[in-house]
Amino acid sequence: MTEAPTPYVLDADTMTGGMRPIRQAVLSLGSNLGDRHGKLQGAVSALEDTPEVTVVAISSVYETDPVDTPADSGKFLNAVVLIDTTLTVHTLLDRALAIEDAFGRERSEPGAPRTLDVDLIVVGPRVADDESLKLPHPRAHERGFVLVPWLEIDPEGEIPGRGFVADLLGGVDTKGVHKREDLEIIL
């Protein structure tokens, strides 16, 4: 089978005529502190306000039991967004961290309640394994709060090296993941 050609755009930063690939990325948003829905909405708006980012799809909002966190952590609101971007993976990570900071996330101890968490789950077929960035996200394949919203907006979603989201979900506990029909994130 022949692969579809990678789409390219003119590099708007340098205007040198350099070309950058457009990559589709999957981002997970989570909040378990304060105005949780407001934080998720703010993050999506901030992504859409980024010139090199186009938001392609936004999942429903899910209320989820905390995992990998201290027992007294509050429930999260989670959502997943698909974006098209011409940013490099590290610049996209910087943007994600800046959006977290803009919403006042305090970095105390690991697992402490967070105002907003923006994780890069996959960025096209890219693999990264350095101090600041791991791609695909090393725990995404076992997290119902990532896989359930992702499948909703991307039935053919796949984690390179792990498999299809639909298949991975068969091995994941999703009891603590509940759609909030009363909440919505809009563009």
Ligand X SMILES: Nc1nc2c(c(=O)[nH]1)N=C(CO)CN2
Ligand Y SMILES: Nc1ncnc2c1ncn2[C@@H]1O[C@H](COP(=O)(O)OP(=O)(O)OP(=O)(O)O)[C@@H](O)[C@H]1O
Question: Applying CB under 6 A, which residues contact ligand Y?
Answer: 68, 93, 97, 110, 117, 119-120, 132-135, 137, 139
Residue closer to ligand Y (CB basis): 52 or 117:
117
Residue closer to ligand X (CB basis): 123 or 146:
146
Does 78 engage in binding with ligand X (CB under 6 A)?
Answer: yes
Region class of 119: left (phi > 0), else alpha (psi between -120 and 50), else beta: beta
Kindly indicate which of the ranges 9-17, 58-66, 86-94, 164-172 contains the residues binding ligand X, using the contact rule CB under 6 A. Answer: 58-66
CB 61 within 8 Å of CB 8: no
**Least distance from ligand Y to the Cβ atom of residue 41, Å:** 19
| Calpha distance 84→88 (Å, rounded) | 12
Residue closer to ligand X (CB basis): 30 or 157:
30
Q: How many CA atoms lie within 13 A of 140 on its CB side?
A: 32
